[in-house]
Structure formats: structure tokens, C-alpha cells
Amino acid sequence: MNKKISLSIISLLLLVVILLFAFPGNKTYKDPYGNIYKYKLTVTGTMPNAKAETTFVILSNEANLTFDDVANSFLSSNSNDHLDIYLVTVK
């Protein structure tokens, strides 16, 4: 009887773990100001006149941003080019 209960508990725990990995839910990211973002992106490219690549780690609500989009958002003086992103790190 104890073997059946133990086996049932182990089977149930295994099922829960499999479901958690198969359906991770809605993961969100929060910046220090409390703003919520859907995606944490890492984009790599070369800045204008740079010799080495730069990597930005950002929080964004857009999943398909490119390095050029992010760099232009930081460098442009045109407010229409600015994106709703949060810069986590620059490498």
C-alpha cells in the first residue's frame, strides 16, 4: 500500500514539474522604477565609428528590436526615435 502511495505522489510531482516547464506562464520583467516589460533582450552590433562590438541588454515590450533600433534610440536627438526600453547593461 505504501509503495502505491509513494509511486502516486512521485508521479504527481513529476507531472507538475513537466507542466511547469511546458507552460512557464507569463514571465515579466520590472525595472527599478516599477515599469513592467514583457521581454529581456540581448542585442549585439557595432556602433558608428567603433572598432569593437557593443552588446545591450534591455527590457522592452517589443520582441523584435534590432541592435540598430536600440542604438538609434539612445543616440538620436529626435524624440520620435526614442523607444520605451530600459537599459540593463552595456558590454
Tell me the domain boundaries of the chain.
25-90
| Distance, CA of 79 to CA of 24 (rounded, Å) | 36
Per-residue pLDDT of 8-64, as tens digits, reads 677 666 665 565 555 556 688 999 999 999 999 999 999 888 899 999 999 999 999
Cite the DSSP H helix spans in 23-89.
Answer: 67-75
The band of 74, judged by pLDDT with boundaries at 50, 70 and 90, is confident
Residue 40 confidence (pLDDT):
94
Considering the entire predicted model, what is its pTM?
0.67
Residue 51 confidence (pLDDT):
92
For the cut 90, the answer to whether the pLDDT of residue 80 exceeds it is no
CA separation (Å) from 67 to 8, 14, 34? Answer: 50, 40, 25
